[in-house]
């Protein structure tokens, strides 16, 4: 795990250096560099929610609490990364348009997804009994994931009726040296996501071990 962390850090630092060396973009000035974090964070969060779905379904099927631990770990880290996405998007909006929030379809969808998965954590907090908590959280996670594409499409349709400031359309005009930097950053951020999830996972498993030991002591 530490190897992964080290690799992630090395990549990130190197990328920061490379990114700072890139020439300023024509339209946006300095701020374009934020895409190198904004986009990978979003993609990482999306992949995270897919992992959470699989973990939730597996838990309901096999009733193995490892899957529950994975689901909560990956969702928590995903929320953090999604928050990064929202904040960087907001900063970008402020620099370009002078407003702190624009109802850009991708950003709005991200916000709604953030609220959905925050609901997952709130639900977990409200349920005390571990089996019930894992089961209900898994059910909610399945509903949340099913909603994500529907949210995305509905917001996009909504936007075509009321055109909003477009941030960054990915059609064309993406210089090759950007692509490389973006790819490397993506790898780095995915690694970071994995590392954080593993840390959270280990914490969750330690918690269960403690619970188990407590139970055994009680039984004596």
Residue from 129, 169, 171, 176 touching another protein (CB under 8 A): that is 129
- Considering beta carbons, is residue 202 or 214 the nearer one to another protein? 214
Residue from 10, 13, 99, 131 touching another protein (CB under 8 A): that is 131
Structure tokens of 10? 């090395």
Cα dihedral across residues 80, 170, 18, 1: positive or negative: positive
- CA-nearest of 41, 112, 48 to 76 is 48
Residue 40 and residue 88 in contact, taking contact as beta carbons nearer than 8 Å = no
- What b/e sequence results for 162-196 when a residue is b if at least 16 CB atoms lie within 10 Å of its CB, and e otherwise? eeeeebbeeeeeeeeebeebbebbbbbbbbbbbbb
CB of 164 to another protein, least distance (A): 14
- CA-nearest of 164, 171, 173 to 25 is 173
CB of 57 to another protein, least distance (A): 11
Query: Which residues are within 8 A (CB) of 153 and not within 5 positions of it... i.e. 6 or more apart?
Result: none
Q: Is 135 in the site for another protein (CB under 8 A)?
A: yes
CB of 52 to another protein, least distance (A): 15
Q: Is 66 in the site for another protein (CB under 8 A)?
A: no
CB of 195 to another protein, least distance (A): 29
d(CA 149, CA 84): 20
Residue from 99, 158, 175, 209 touching another protein (CB under 8 A): that is 158
CB of 124 to another protein, least distance (A): 11
Contacts with another protein by CB under 8 A: the residue count is 36
Q: Is 143 in the site for another protein (CB under 8 A)?
A: yes
Q: Is 116 in the site for another protein (CB under 8 A)?
A: yes
Residue from 77, 93, 151, 196 touching another protein (CB under 8 A): that is 151
Q: Cα angle at 80 between 23 and 137, to 5 degrees?
A: 150
CB of 127 to another protein, least distance (A): 7
- CA-nearest of 87, 39, 34 to 190 is 39
Q: Is 119 in the site for another protein (CB under 8 A)?
A: yes
Q: Is 163 in the site for another protein (CB under 8 A)?
A: no
Q: How far is CA 15 from CA 24, 89, 171, 182, in A?
A: 16, 20, 24, 9
Residues in the site for another protein, rule: CB under 8 A?
60, 112, 115-116, 119, 122-123, 126-132, 135-136, 139-140, 142-144, 146-147, 150-151, 153-155, 157-158, 161, 211, 214-215, 218-219
């Amino acid at each position: 795990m530490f190897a992964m962390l080290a690799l992630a850090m090395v990549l990130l630092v190197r990328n920061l250096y490379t990114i700072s060396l890139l020439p300023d973009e024509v339209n946006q000035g300095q701020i374009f560099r934020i895409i190198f974090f904004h986009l990978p964070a979003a993609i990482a969060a999306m992949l995270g929610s897919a992992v959470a779905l699989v973990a939730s379904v597996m838990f309901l099927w096999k009733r193995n609490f490892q899957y529950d631990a994975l689901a909560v770990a990956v969702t928590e880290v995903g929320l953090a990364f999604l928050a990064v996405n929202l904040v960087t998007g907001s900063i970008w909006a402020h620099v370009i348009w002078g407003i702190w929030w624009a109802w850009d379809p991708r950003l709005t969808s991200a916000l709604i997804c953030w609220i959905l998965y925050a609901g997952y954590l709130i639900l977990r907090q409200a349920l005390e009994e571990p089996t019930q908590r894992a089961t209900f959280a898994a059910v909610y996670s399945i509903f949340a994931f099913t909603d994500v594409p529907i949210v995305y499409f509905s917001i996009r349709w909504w936007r075509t009726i009321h055109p909003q400031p477009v941030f960054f359309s990915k059609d064309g005009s993406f210089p090759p040296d950007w692509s490389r930097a973006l790819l490397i950053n993506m790898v780095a951020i995915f690694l970071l996501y994995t590392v954080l999830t593993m840390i959270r996972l280990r914490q969750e498993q330690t918690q269960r071990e403690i619970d188990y030991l407590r139970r055994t002591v009680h039984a004596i």
